[in-house]
Chain A
Amino acid sequence: MFEDFNMELYRTEARWQEGEYTVTRTSVWTAPGCHNGCGVLLYSKNGKLEKIEGDPNAPFNRGRLCLRCINMIEQVYSNDRLKWPLKRVGEKGDNKWQRITWDEAYDIIEAKYNEIKDNHGVESIATLVGTGRNSMWQPAVITRAIFGSPNLCFGFLSGDSCYQPRMTANLIKLGDCVISDCSQTHPLREKNSEWKKPEVIVVWGNNPLVSNGDGFMGHWIVDMMRLGTKLIVVDPALTWLAAKADIWLRGRPGTDAALALGFLNVIINEDLYDHDFVENWTYGFEDLVERVKEYPPEKVADITWIPKDQIVEAARMYAKAKPAAIQWGLAIDMQMAAMEASGAITDLMALTGNIDVPGGNIIQRYAYNRSKKYGSAIEYIPEEMLLKRIGTYESPIHESGYTPFIPPDKLLECLETGRPYPVQMLWLQGTNPIANMAGEAPRVYAAMKKVPFCVVVDLFMTPSAVAFADLVLPAAMSVERDSFRAWWTPLRSIARGAEQYEQSKSDEEIVLDLGKRIRPDRFDKYKDVNEYLTQLLKEDGGVDYDFDTLVERVNDFWDWDYTYQKHEKGLLRSDGQPGFVTPTGLYEFTSPLFDVWGFDMLPKHIEPVEGPYTTPELMREFPLILTTGNRLWGCFHSEHRQLPTMREIHPDPMMDINPQTAKELGINEGDWVWLENRRGRCKQKARFNIGLDPKVVRGEHGWWFPEKEGAEPTLYGVFDSNINNLTTMGVHGPTHYGAPYKSTVCKVYKVTPENDRVSPTEIVTRMGGFSYAKR
């Protein structure tokens, strides 16, 4: 049904000439800005990209592209792109720069590195990375293999609350990560004879059609729906998928752990679980049985605001469907109970026997184990240097190596207090913290200002670069670089289809340039990026071919990833025995590791830190629950705001409010309103959303205004509509994971000339921040 096109029309080689165009068949990662790696056909003329089409022969996306890739020409050739290295000449925040050469930039970095090494120790260099832009392993290599510092951080994401809780819950419970199986792991897709369609998919805590998060293409769900898959959608908002679902569970933000425990209660009490899997492959089931007794559906209904009957009905529908998959997303990570919710939802997959079965939740590793991403180059850090990692030894999960990051909340404390040692240099690659992921952004702004030296590698000038950077280096985009992608499968080439814009360099080139200067002992052996990529592809039992061969193949599916029931076949453990990579060798409902670390061994509900049941006093002043971070069609996080087409679709930051609530507050649709709480306020435009609970409002993140003045105090208006004026840093779940980005409180009122005399950005950049948040 899906491959009903004339195959002869579409070519399968990697490069060809089509009239005046050179066509490159490859994949992109970011930029354009997203987590996927869709197959593309890049049409270029004289080295310039002229058009881009989806590759019908890429099993991943089968010719489809979303707005961000379709509109990529506008992004690649935007005159706002960084063109050459820039050195700050005014004060930080003045947005005054001098054009310099790459050699001059590297000279400055090398001199600074030597000075820090001699006077402070290389550990006082810390790196911040973002999500997407495929700058994951590259900054990790720069930090660890070149600078020798152990301090790599998700910057600044409170509670590591993006995929780390979900992945770590998977790793602790079953030793590997699982994703919902829409046939994407096999080159033949639905025609793979072993594959089965999921009878039910639970779309939990994300809107995948818009976000395409975590390497999961949202449109696969639509493909499954066309085959007859039924949906249960867990979302506080009425999304397109929720509207098409058999059951839409509109929960109170931040209560997903309770909901999952309610599901577990129904499934166990009604004996709907998979006895075979539970008896043969799991550990601690009896403890789970005891725990779920504390979560009868009535109580879960009170906690989550979802009617009891719907909870029971949804639990039955999921458990009875064979197979069934859970497709989960970021909202699960962005709450106090992130780890607990992630664990409970993973338990649902196990309890119903849906782990690593066709059409269930399939175990994945990076194709051919190639992509080490943020964990790269950790082998270069000696033990005594690892011990200097900031904040790591206050969190057992970080200490034990389940995440390659240092805890962001602890890095912030370190910048503020200078303890355990002052940070002398920040390296930012692919992150724009104050515009995007930093909770309590004004606080992060003040802390980052204290760091003496800062380098930013990015595509465009950003508010973070203006505020903090001494050097800004222009990065190349996907279509201008050679690289590869292995998250999850297939292994995909990222082959250059256009010449690099002005003097931009790819992240890989920057790694090699710096490596050859600072650590020639480690990097002189690579002649060029091509050789370096070949080494990364082949080392430690990887593939037996070089980078050029991958470019020729375009895609390479790893058979391990599409093998089912790997735990039965002895494919998971290094000893080759059946079972999972856990201390017991079984799937662990109760976690011995959690016991050893002093955590609750079983999942539980944790109330949001601010809300009707935790802070009823506060609710008198801030009566609405605020959820943030819903994704936009055209803009990926804080990216794309420079592009006319994207701004035509998303001209202004929008907040969603139930019309009934708006009416009570005297707000009309399209009014500018303030969202405010104890930490600060920001303004967005009101949009009526009938699907939202009247007690819940939703605000967009990532907004800054490239069209405004870049110099402080305006700073591209980065705090004017910044929803992170209201979120937190240093507030996280007991495991150090999960921050309440999606479940805090606020009040909403109209913007008037009287209450809008000084802009929030000016308050932050010139007046020391919002008065109630001043410290």
Chain B
Amino acid sequence: MCSNDKGGFVPPDANKLVARCPACKAFNSPKNIKCKKCGADMPKKS
């Protein structure tokens, strides 16, 4: 498998770019503390 960590032309890891709200499943920026759609707490990134 090709990984972008070393510059391969595949997309970066989606988990680092989007986070799904546990309550309403909306896509959020991983930087969000609360879901932009329903206001639920977003899980903290480890």
* A and B associate: yes
Q: Residue A377 at the B interface, CB < 8 A?
A: yes
Which of B7, B11, B14, B18 sits near A372, CB closer than 8 Å?
B7
Q: Assess the B9–A372 pair: CB atoms within 8 A.
A: yes
Q: Mark A362-376, 1 if CB is under 8 A from B, else 0.
A: 000110010011111
Considering the complex, give the chain A residue whose CB is closest to the CB of B11.
A171
Q: Assess the B8–A369 pair: CB atoms within 8 A.
A: yes
Considering the complex, give the chain A residue whose CB is closest to the CB of B17.
A400
Q: Assess the A596–B18 pair: CB atoms within 8 A.
A: yes
**Interchain CA distance A400-B2 in the complex, whole Å:** 17
- Known A-B contacts A583-B14, A583-B18, A596-B29; the reply to A377 vs B7 at CB < 8 A is yes
Q: Assess the A175–B27 pair: CB atoms within 8 A.
A: no
List the A side residues contacting B27 at CB < 8 Å: 583, 592-593, 595-596
- Known A-B contacts A583-B27, A593-B17, A596-B28; the reply to A375 vs B9 at CB < 8 A is yes
Considering the complex, give the chain A residue whose CB is closest to the CB of B2.
A369
**Interchain CA distance A563-B29 in the complex, whole Å:** 35
Q: Assess the A373–B14 pair: CB atoms within 8 A.
A: no
List the A side residues contacting B3 at CB < 8 Å: 540, 574
List the B side residues contacting A225 at CB < 8 Å: none
Q: Residue A247 at the B interface, CB < 8 A?
A: no
Q: Assess the A375–B12 pair: CB atoms within 8 A.
A: no
- Shortest CB-to-CB span from A208 to chain B, Å, is 21
Q: Residue A31 at the B interface, CB < 8 A?
A: no
Q: Residue A711 at the B interface, CB < 8 A?
A: no
List the B side residues contacting A595 at CB < 8 Å: 27
Q: Assess the A175–B11 pair: CB atoms within 8 A.
A: yes
**Interchain CA distance A238-B3 in the complex, whole Å:** 42
- Shortest CB-to-CB span from B7 to chain A, Å, is 3
Q: Residue A659 at the B interface, CB < 8 A?
A: no
Q: Residue A90 at the B interface, CB < 8 A?
A: no
Q: Assess the B4–A582 pair: CB atoms within 8 A.
A: no
Q: Assess the B9–A401 pair: CB atoms within 8 A.
A: no
Q: Assess the B7–A404 pair: CB atoms within 8 A.
A: yes
- Known A-B contacts A369-B1, A583-B17, A593-B17; the reply to A402 vs B12 at CB < 8 A is yes
Which chain A residues numbered 401 to 456 have a C-beta less than 8 Å away from chain B?
A: 401-402, 404
**Interchain CA distance A402-B16 in the complex, whole Å:** 13
- Shortest CB-to-CB span from A517 to chain B, Å, is 23
Q: Residue A177 at the B interface, CB < 8 A?
A: yes
- Shortest CB-to-CB span from B33 to chain A, Å, is 14
Q: Residue A382 at the B interface, CB < 8 A?
A: no
- Shortest CB-to-CB span from A167 to chain B, Å, is 7
- Shortest CB-to-CB span from B21 to chain A, Å, is 11
List the B side residues contacting A402 at CB < 8 Å: 11-12
**Interchain CA distance A596-B6 in the complex, whole Å:** 25
- Known A-B contacts A375-B7, A583-B27; the reply to A366 vs B2 at CB < 8 A is yes
- Shortest CB-to-CB span from A593 to chain B, Å, is 6
Interface centre among A369, A374, A376, A596 (most CB of B within 10 A): A596
- Shortest CB-to-CB span from B8 to chain A, Å, is 5
Q: Residue A541 at the B interface, CB < 8 A?
A: yes
- Shortest CB-to-CB span from A440 to chain B, Å, is 29
**Interchain CA distance A276-B4 in the complex, whole Å:** 31
Q: Assess the A167–B9 pair: CB atoms within 8 A.
A: yes
List the B side residues contacting A574 at CB < 8 Å: 1, 3
Which of B1, B7, B9, B18 sits near A379, CB closer than 8 Å?
B7
Interface centre among A377, A541, A583 (most CB of B within 10 A): A583
Q: Assess the B10–A581 pair: CB atoms within 8 A.
A: yes
- Known A-B contacts A596-B27, A596-B28; the reply to A373 vs B9 at CB < 8 A is yes
Q: Residue A140 at the B interface, CB < 8 A?
A: yes
Q: Assess the B1–A541 pair: CB atoms within 8 A.
A: yes
List the A side residues contacting B1 at CB < 8 Å: 369, 541, 574
- Known A-B contacts A583-B27, A592-B27; the reply to A372 vs B12 at CB < 8 A is no
Which of B2, B5, B11, B20 sits near A172, CB closer than 8 Å?
B11
Q: Residue A762 at the B interface, CB < 8 A?
A: no
Q: Assess the B4–A375 pair: CB atoms within 8 A.
A: yes
- Shortest CB-to-CB span from A365 to chain B, Å, is 6
- Shortest CB-to-CB span from A585 to chain B, Å, is 9
- Shortest CB-to-CB span from B36 to chain A, Å, is 9
Considering the complex, give the chain B residue whose CB is closest to the CB of A374.
B7
Q: Assess the A582–B7 pair: CB atoms within 8 A.
A: no
Q: Assess the B29–A378 pair: CB atoms within 8 A.
A: no
**Interchain CA distance A772-B27 in the complex, whole Å:** 47
- Shortest CB-to-CB span from B46 to chain A, Å, is 17
**Interchain CA distance A400-B11 in the complex, whole Å:** 9
Q: Residue A53 at the B interface, CB < 8 A?
A: no
Q: Assess the A582–B2 pair: CB atoms within 8 A.
A: no
**Interchain CA distance A404-B10 in the complex, whole Å:** 11
Q: Residue A176 at the B interface, CB < 8 A?
A: yes
Q: Assess the B6–A379 pair: CB atoms within 8 A.
A: yes
Which chain A residues numbered 373 to 399 have a C-beta less than 8 Å away from chain B?
A: 373-379
- Shortest CB-to-CB span from B14 to chain A, Å, is 4
List the A side residues contacting B4 at CB < 8 Å: 375, 401
Which chain A residues numbered 511 to 556 have a C-beta less than 8 Å away from chain B?
A: 540-541
Which of A171, A583, A596 sits near B10, CB closer than 8 Å?
A171
List the B side residues contacting A379 at CB < 8 Å: 5-7
Considering the complex, give the chain A residue whose CB is closest to the CB of B7.
A375
List the A side residues contacting B8 at CB < 8 Å: 366, 369, 372, 375
List the B side residues contacting A176 at CB < 8 Å: 10
List the A side residues contacting B6 at CB < 8 Å: 372, 375-376, 378-379, 540
Considering the complex, give the chain B residue whose CB is closest to the CB of A573.
B1
Considering the complex, give the chain B residue whose CB is closest to the CB of A141.
B7
**Interchain CA distance A401-B4 in the complex, whole Å:** 8
**Interchain CA distance A647-B30 in the complex, whole Å:** 56
Q: Mark A680-704, 1 if CB is under 8 A from B, else 0.
A: 0000000000000000000000000
Considering the complex, give the chain B residue whose CB is closest to the CB of A597.
B29
Considering the complex, give the chain B residue whose CB is closest to the CB of A581.
B11
- Known A-B contacts A592-B27, A596-B27; the reply to A376 vs B7 at CB < 8 A is yes
Q: Assess the B17–A365 pair: CB atoms within 8 A.
A: no
**Interchain CA distance A131-B8 in the complex, whole Å:** 18
List the A side residues contacting B11 at CB < 8 Å: 171-172, 175, 402, 581-582
List the B side residues contacting A374 at CB < 8 Å: 7
List the B side residues contacting A596 at CB < 8 Å: 17-18, 27-29
Which of B14, B16, B20, B29 sits near A582, CB closer than 8 Å?
B14
Q: Mark A565-588, 1 if CB is under 8 A from B, else 0.
A: 000000000100000011100000
Considering the complex, give the chain A residue whose CB is closest to the CB of B32.
A596
Considering the complex, give the chain B residue whose CB is closest to the CB of A372.
B7
**Interchain CA distance A379-B5 in the complex, whole Å:** 6
List the A side residues contacting B17 at CB < 8 Å: 400, 583, 593, 596
Q: Assess the B10–A140 pair: CB atoms within 8 A.
A: no
Some 23 contacts from A to B, beta carbons below 8 A apart, are: A171-B10, A175-B10, A175-B11, A365-B9, A366-B9, A369-B2, A369-B8, A372-B7, A372-B9, A375-B6, A375-B7, A375-B9, A402-B12, A404-B7, A540-B3, A540-B6, A541-B1, A574-B1, A574-B3, A581-B14, A583-B18, A583-B20, A592-B18
Contacts beyond the supplied A365-B10, A400-B16, A402-B12: 6 A-B pairs with Cβ under 8 Å:
A176-B10, A372-B7, A373-B7, A541-B1, A593-B17, A596-B17
6 pairs of A and B residues whose beta carbons are closest in the complex: A375-B7, A592-B27, A369-B2, A401-B12, A372-B7, A583-B14
